[in-house]
A and B are shown apart, each in its own frame.
Chain A
Amino acid sequence: MWRVIKSVLAAFFGVQKEARRREDFGRGDGRAFIVAGIVMGVVLVVLVALIAHLAAG
C-alpha cells in the first residue's frame, strides 16, 4: 500500500527511478495505482482548496 502511494506521489512530482518504475509496471495489475491516483488527485484538490481558504482568512 505504502509502495503504491509512494509511486503515485512520485508520478505527481514527475520523477521516478527507472528501476522502481519497471518494478511497478512489472506487477501486471494497474488497478491499485489508478485508485490511488484518483484518491490522491482528490486529496490534492482538497489540500489546495484548504490552503486557499486559510490564505483568504
Chain B
Amino acid sequence: MRTMLVWATGALALAGIPQAALANGWNMPVGVTDVSRDIYSLHMVIFWICVVIGVLVFGAMFYSLFRYRRSQGASAAQFHEHTTVEVIWTAIPLLILIGMALPATATLRTMYDASQADLDVMVTGQQWRWRYEYLGEEVAFTSNLGTPREQIAGGDEKGENYLLEVDEPLVLPVGQKVRLLMTSDDVVHSWWVPDLAVKQDAIPGFVNENWVRINEPGIYRGQCAELCGRDHGFMPVVVEAVEPEQFDQWLAQRKEAATQAAMGIDREWGLDELMTRGEKVYGSICASCHQPDGSGSPPTFPALAGNQAMLDERARHIDTVVNGVSGTAMPAFRSTLNPVEIAAVITWERNAWGNETGDIVQPSEIAEQLSE
C-alpha cells in the first residue's frame, strides 16, 4: 500500500516537472526537423493522456483499497455488473483512441512522402560501419567508429562523444529535402538519428526510402538500432548539417579527391606504398572481423595470419575480397572499395603478420578484373 502511494505521488511529481527539464536527457528530443517536432508533440499528447487516465484509474483503485479495508469494518456489496457503466468505460477509450489516430495518420502520411527530393543519398549498412553514397555525384565513403579501442576496453578516459563519434560524418545541406535510400550488404541494420526522427531498417536485398529536411545547422548523433552482430553497439551515425553553399564546396572537394584516388590505377605501385595504404584500409574495414593482428575469430571469421590456403592461392584470395563468399559473412568489396584500396589491402594481407610472401597485387590487375 505505502509504496503504491509513493508511486502515485511520484507520478504526480513527474507530471509537475517542467517540460524543459524533461527535454534535457530524460525525454525524447524535440529534434531539428518539422517531422521530429510533430512526432515529439504526438508523443507528449499521448503521454499526458496516459497520465490523466492513470491518475483517474489508480485514484479510483487506491480510494477503494483505502476506503473498503476489512480492518476498518467494510462489508462487501453484492453487485457484479452494471451495463451502462460498462458501455461508458468501453466507449470513452474508443473515442480517445480515434482522437489519437487522426493526428498520427496525418504525420505518418507526411513521413511517407519522399517525393521531390533535392538530393539522394544511399545509406548502406555493413558489419559494422555505414557507407554513404551521394547518388549522381560520384562521391562515396564509409563512416567508422571514431572512438579509440583504449577508451572502450582500456583505462583511457572516455571522451565527450564516447561511442557517438565517427571518422567521417555524413554531410547534408540544411533546408533541402534529402532522400535517404537504405540498404544493407549483410544483415539487417537500422539507421537512426533521434534529432532527425529518422529510423529506418537497412535490409539486404531491399531499398527502403525515408527523407529528412534539417532546419538548423549542427552535428547530430545516433546509432545503429537493430542488433546486427558483435559490434552492433559500436556503429554510430553522425550527421553534420551545413549551409547549402558550404555543402556544395564540400561536395566539390570530395569529387576532386575521388578523381585523384582513381588516377593511380594505371601506374605501377611499389610494395611499400601498397603496404602503407593497405594497413589503413585493413584497419578501418577488415580488422573488425579478422582482428587487427589477423587472428580472426573462428569459426565465423577465419584467421588470415598464417592462413596457408589463402597464401597458396593468390587468385582465390583476390576473388574472395572482390566478390565475397556467398553463404558466409564475407561481403563483396567490388563496389565498396576502389581498385587501389583492394590491391593495397590484399598486398597487406599477403605480407603482414609473418605472411611474408613478397607478393604485390597491382591496382591495374584489380581494375581489369572489375571490368570483366
Contacts and interface: CB of A to CB of B under 8 A. Distances in A.
Q: Do any CB atoms of chain A lie under 8 A from CB atoms of chain B in the complex? A: yes
Interface stretch (B80-88, B248-256, B337-345): B80-88
B81 A18 contact: yes
A14 B83 contact: no
A14 B81 contact: no
B78 interface: no
Contact of A55 (B81, B86, B105): B105
A15 B86 contact: yes
Contact of B83 (A15, A55, A56): A15
Interface in A1-48: 13-18
A13 B93 CA distance: 12
Contacts of B90: 13-15
B105 A17 contact: no
- Report which residue of A15, A18, A55 has the largest number of chain B beta carbons within 10 angstroms of its beta carbon: A15
Contacts of A18: 81
Interface string B81-124: 10100110010000000000000010001000000000000000
Chain B interface secondary structure, helix, strand, loop or mixed?
helix
B86 A56 contact: no
> Which range contains the number of A residues in contact with the other chain?
under 10
A5 B219 CA distance: 59
Nearest to A16: B83
Contacts, number: 16
Contacts of B109: 55-57
Contacts of A56: 109
A55 B109 CA distance: 9
Contacts of B83: 15-17
Nearest to A52: B105
B160 to A, nearest CB: 43
A14 B87 CA distance: 9
A17 B86 CA distance: 10
Interface in B276-329: none
Contacts of B81: 17-18
A57 B90 CA distance: 30
A15 B87 CA distance: 6
A18 to B, nearest CB: 6
A17 B87 CA distance: 10
A17 B82 CA distance: 8
A41 B86 CA distance: 22
B108 to A, nearest CB: 9
A17 B81 CA distance: 8
Contacts of A15: 83, 86-87, 90
Nearest to B80: A18
Nearest to B86: A15
Given A55-B109, A56-B109, A57-B109, 13 more contacts: A13-B87, A13-B90, A14-B86, A14-B90, A15-B83, A15-B86, A15-B87, A15-B90, A16-B83, A17-B81, A17-B83, A18-B81, A55-B105
Interface of A: 13-18, 55-57
16 contacts: A13-B87, A13-B90, A14-B86, A14-B90, A15-B83, A15-B86, A15-B87, A15-B90, A16-B83, A17-B81, A17-B83, A18-B81, A55-B105, A55-B109, A56-B109, A57-B109
Q: Which 3 residue pairs are nearest across A and B when measured between Cβ atoms?
A: A15-B86, A55-B105, A17-B83
